[in-house]
Homo-oligomer: A and B are copies of this chain.
């Protein structure tokens, strides 16, 4: 058990890492609060509405929803149940697959989203996109795209699913 020596982070790397952790924490908390205060919905709930709105007929299977957000199926079930209680989405059985369930955006859900989206986008701009340089923004996208690919394909599939 001759453990090889730990490869600690350089001080530059450590600084970058901590800046990311703190900045990211603050950013997501801020955007969450803005949506909550203005519309009473949390960021994950908002993102579900967005994904539904982008799907044909505002309709998507629970598993597709879960996969696209990298959330557990259980989490999506709970989140959608909350949204359903507020009549922002509805659930119907899938007719192709007897096991499947599809979530649909209701009229109220679409209306809420149309009011919320500009506010949210404005927040993303003010607190993120507009405060970093275009080059750094592109780098962030590249970096986390790579991270996501790495984590999704790492194990023989079936990680978050």
Please choose the segment from A18-26, A57-65, A80-88, A102-110 that sits at the chain B interface, where 4 or more of its residues have CB less than 8 A away: A18-26
Beta-carbon contact of B122 and A146 below 8 Å: no
Beta-carbon contact of B151 and A142 below 8 Å: no
Given contacts A7-B122, A125-B7, A140-B143, A22 and B148 within 8 Å (CB-CB): yes
> Using a Cβ–Cβ cut-off of 8 Å, how many residues does chain A contribute to the interface with B?
54
A132 and B135 CA atoms in complex are apart in Å by: 15
Beta-carbon contact of B25 and A70 below 8 Å: yes
Beta-carbon contact of A19 and B132 below 8 Å: no
CB distance from A139 to the nearest CB of B (A): 3
Which of these, B21, B30, B117, B135, contacts A139 with CB under 8 Å?
Answer: B135
Q: CB of A138 within 8 A of chain B?
A: yes
Which residues of the partner chain B approach A21 to less than 8 Å between Cβ atoms? Answer: 47
Residues in chain A within 8 A of chain B (CB atoms): 3, 6-9, 12-13, 15-17, 19-27, 29-30, 47, 69-71, 117-118, 121-122, 124-125, 127-129, 131-132, 135-148, 150-152, 160
Given contacts A6-B117, A22-B148, 16 further A-B contacts (CB under 8 A): A8-B121, A13-B129, A13-B137, A16-B138, A17-B128, A17-B129, A19-B148, A23-B145, A23-B146, A23-B147, A24-B147, A26-B152, A27-B144, A27-B147, A132-B143, A135-B139
